[in-house]
Structure 1
Amino acid sequence: MRLFTALELNTKVIANLTELVRRLRPVAPIRWVHPQNMHVSLKYIGDWPESRLETLIRSLSEVRVTQPMTVPLAGLGYFPSARRPRVFWVGAENTPPLRQLASGVDFQLSELGIAPEVRPYIPHLTLGQITSDEPLDEFHKVIEDLPSREFGTITPDRFTLFESTVVDGNPQCRRVAEFPFLQPAVEPMVATARPQLAGGW
């Protein structure tokens, strides 16, 4: 199983991102993530044996967030840099509750042998992967002309463990478990929802 943890979005943010992608799609060689599958990244876990899934879920259920969380989504950026762009993203404000959550997830996973992060946590939402080295002049012009680079706010009350997989050649993601905030010793909710598309669209 290839796993990661993330925060899900609300319908208003998804609508705003859908409109952003609609504007940018014609002018950039980007493999877009479907807006319904965008998320604020917490921690990439990577390959994990299904035989140890229960152990992982039990460990993540120990993560606590002691304050209500509000996360504005604004700004656009690139990894690794604007000069060598490969990943195009929307920024998420690194609020104290979000830092507490990311740190808690990182700690619990380190207890299971997953290497802790050595770089500062940069909360973001991946929009797509740039697939060409061609100049992005027209793309940058459209970005400059955007009426706003603010895409809304999420107020999550849980984080989610996802599985990434490929079915019939199509990248997909599946909710594995959800972990509510602000409820000590709560049992995680194991998801049974159908997979969602996670790749380009």
Structure 2
Amino acid sequence: MATNHYFIGVPLQKEKQDEFADLQKILRQEMTYKTWTHPEDFHITLKFLGACTTEQLAAIEKELQKKSWPDPFELELGPAASFGKKDQPRVFHLSVKEASPLARIKKEIEQLCEQVGFEKEDRTYKPHITLAKKWVSGLSPLSAEKVNDHFLKTYSMDVDRFCLYQIHPQQSPKYEVVCEVNLYSGGEA
């Protein structure tokens, strides 16, 4: 019986972790959330797997490592956005402008995971970086009354890898890299 949960995602470089941790500090002055993402856990989810058997995990790792992936690419991050009510969002995040290489990686991971026994995600893919979730109180700095320019900013980030993570819900940070898949400029390394 599988009890460990996993997902595949794009990690953020230390510089972006620090920038977005600074955004969290500003957000904390305006709002209270039950869960604040640890800066080392900032990521862009490609596929949530949930519980995996040892066999599924081994098959996913093998397929991820042998597949040909796009070359490194740049993503545009931001501005801030939310899921839920605009003034009291259940999730406060940075949006991610979906680039062709990201869409290709997402699609190929979805196909690979289907072959290993995972259900295809039916929801529309909305890449994002979660800053906080489970709203408790406060008014969003994106609301009409409180527009905060810090959250309207956009960023660029180079993507040169993605990872398979194991989730440790009781730890902080809670995501452990199980395997890393590097994107290589000019083909396989």
Whether TM exceeds 0.5 here: the answer is: yes
2:16 and 2:173 map into 1 onto residues whose CA distance is 22
Q: 1:54 to 1:97 in 2, by over 3 A?
A: same
Question: What residue is the counterpart of 1:125 in the other structure?
Answer: 129
1:87 aligns with 2:91: yes
* 115-124 or 93-102: bigger deviation: 115-124
Helix, strand or coil for the counterpart of 2:16? helix
2:130 and 2:141 map into 1 onto residues whose CA distance is 20
Question: What residue is the counterpart of 1:101 in the other structure?
Answer: 105
Question: What residue is the counterpart of 1:111 in the other structure?
Answer: 115
Deviation of 1:111 (Å): 0.8
Instruction: State TM-score, norm by structure 2.
Output: 0.84
1:10 and 1:142 map into 2 onto residues whose CA distance is 33
Q: 2:158 aligns with which of 155, 161, 175?
A: 155
Percent of aligned pairs with the same amino acid: 21
Q: 1:17 aligns with which of 16, 20, 28?
A: 20
1:138 and 1:178 map into 2 onto residues whose CA distance is 35
Question: What residue is the counterpart of 1:61 in the other structure?
Answer: 65
What is the one-letter code of the residue matched to 1:154?
Answer: M
Question: What residue is the counterpart of 2:139 in the other structure?
Answer: 136
Question: What residue is the counterpart of 2:50 in the other structure?
Answer: 46
1:21 and 1:142 map into 2 onto residues whose CA distance is 19
2:82 and 2:151 map into 1 onto residues whose CA distance is 18
Q: 1:35 to 1:52 in 2, by over 3 A?
A: same
What is the one-letter code of the residue matched to 1:155?
Answer: D
2:116 and 2:50 map into 1 onto residues whose CA distance is 13
8 Å CA contact retained: 1:75, 1:150: yes
Q: What is the RMSD of the two structures over their aligned residues, measured on CA atoms?
A: 2.5
Q: Residue by residue, what CA displacement relative to the aligned partner does 1:157-192 show, whole Å, maximum 9, x if unpaired?
A: 11100000134x6562111000112344x6xxxxxx
1:28 aligns with 2:45: no
Helix, strand or coil for the counterpart of 1:14? helix
Helix, strand or coil for the counterpart of 2:111? helix
Helix, strand or coil for the counterpart of 1:131? strand
Q: Residue by residue, what CA displacement relative to the aligned partner does 1:24-70 show, whole Å, maximum 9, x if unpaired?
A: 11221212101121111111010112344211201222443334311
2:116 and 2:20 map into 1 onto residues whose CA distance is 35
Which consecutive unaligned segments of at least 5 residues does structure 1 have? 187-201
